Amino acid sequence: MSNITEEQTLHEMIGAFVKVAPLLKSLTNDDITIGIYDTEKLINNIPGRTFSLNVKPGDPLVEGDIVTDAIRNNKSISAVVPKELFGFPLAARAIPLHDEFGRVIGGVGMGTSLEKANMLFEMAESFSAIVEQTTASIEDISQSIDRLTERVSDVTGQMSDVSSSAQQIGKISTVVKEISDQSSMLGLNASIEAARAGDVGRGFSVVADEIRKLATSSKENVDQINGITKNIQEFLQRLNHAFADIHALADTQSRTIQEFSATIHEISIKAEELAQVAEETLYSKENKQ
């Protein structure tokens, strides 16, 4: 109070709060403002370190204000003032003051800035949203890797079927080559017998020559088929190795994604805990009476 004469007319209880209020403010690390009232007006206000409620001694009680309600209803009141009013949330608490006969002679209100707690709460909510988005993206990636693994497994199985078919072709080619060799030998023997038969065996000699030509042609085709089959098998082998590497990489990525997902889950839990702590800091005083 700047007016000593007016202070001397105050009730002893109100005067004591006027003197003690600045000391109370210095005892806490919270950013607080303190207001002392009689039953009609503000006697003194100690502004916060970073904010002021734009009030001055002599301002009348305001209807609906927490200190006014505490004085009028003769009870302690706590509330959280939304940030829309002052630009930041404020935890407010007010108590009535009594004289020696128990009559209400005024009240004291204290407001604590919850700006940092509000910022923490908003950051925690934002962090939780980012974690949720990251979790969803990881799940999509994990599903894509699972689908890739399935496709690689399907293609590997189909390659195995093709490789088996190529092996069957190789076996058939072997049989055809054996028949070709036998046909060639048969044609040679037939030509020898036809030569021995002279003119009688000329017609048979023509047939024997055709058999030998067919055997030779079959052998050449078999050699080409064997060459193509060998190339297919070599290609399939290289392709199989490549897909095996892809499969191993997909497995490694899948395990990494699972570990990363578990880490993100832990971060999500911590973000929820952080948001809860911030929320409790913001609103826990509202229910205290």
* Position 210 pLDDT exceeds 90: no
**Could you tell me the CATH number of the domain that includes residue 235?**
1.10.287.950
Task: Kindly tell me if the per-residue pLDDT of 54 is higher than 90.
Answer: no
Q: Is 278 exposed, middle or buried (0-12, 13-18, 19+ CB in 10 A)?
A: buried
Range of the domain at 213: 120-282
Same domain, 49 and 186: no
Mean pLDDT across 132-148: 75
**Distance from C-alpha of 142 to C-alpha of 272, rounded to nearest angstrom:** 24
Closest to 61 in 3D by CA, of 15, 106, 3, 98 = 106
The pLDDT score that the predictor gives to residue 137 is 74
In whole angstroms, how far apart are CA 87 and each of 78, 79, 98, 115? 19, 16, 33, 9
pLDDT at 218 over 50: yes
Q: Among 98-102, 156-160, 205-209, 247-251, which range has the highest average pLDDT?
A: 98-102
Is residue 288 situated within a structural domain?
no
Q: Report the CATH number that the domain containing residue 79 is assigned in CATH.
A: 3.30.450.20
- The residue among 85, 113, 141 that closes a domain is 113
pTM of the prediction? 0.46
**Are the C-beta atoms of 35 and 25 separated by less than 8 Å?**
no
154 and 212 housed in the same domain = yes
* Tokens describing residue 51: 């904010």
Confidence tier at 121 by pLDDT (50, 70, 90) = low
The reply to whether 136 and 278 lie within a common domain is yes
Angle at 259 (CA atoms; ends 137, 269), nearest 5 degrees: 70
Percent of the chain at pLDDT exceeding 90? 15
Answer yes or no: do 275 and 154 share one domain.
Answer: yes
**pLDDT value, residue 37:** 95
Give the span between the Cα atoms of 116 and 80, in whole angstroms.
14
pLDDT in tens, 57-83: 999 998 888 899 999 999 999 887 777
